[in-house]
Amino acid sequence: MKRFVFATDISAMALAFAIASGAASAADITNNDSDIHTIQITDSAGNVTSMDIESTQTVNVCDTGCAVTIESETLQLKGDESLMIKDGRFHPVQ
């Protein structure tokens, strides 16, 4: 019985690590402005999605790379960046 519990614990820890690792490698954007901003996300296949980001909201935009546009500014992301919106523009989170 102890061997089964131990194996289950290891499996649960491995799953938790995989989930945490995946979340850490996703590109996300936080809106630090008081206004709602609309961004466009272009994935690697060329599909474009518009998204409204509320004030103080953080959204995941892509896991494996994409282009994000706010107004006339477009950035190419690899999928592991963190950005913030401040004064209507993208800024890296450091």
pLDDT at 21: 43
More confident residue, 91 or 8: 91
Percent of the chain with pLDDT over 90: 71
Q: What number of other Cβ atoms are within 10 A of residue 74's Cβ?
A: 13
Q: What average pLDDT score do residues 55-64 get?
A: 95
Q: Is the pLDDT of residue 56 over 80?
A: yes
Q: How would residue 27 be classed by pLDDT, with cut points 50, 70 and 90? A: very high
The pair of three-digit structure tokens given for residue 81, joined into one six-digit string: 């960046």
* Predicted local confidence at residue 94, as pLDDT: 81
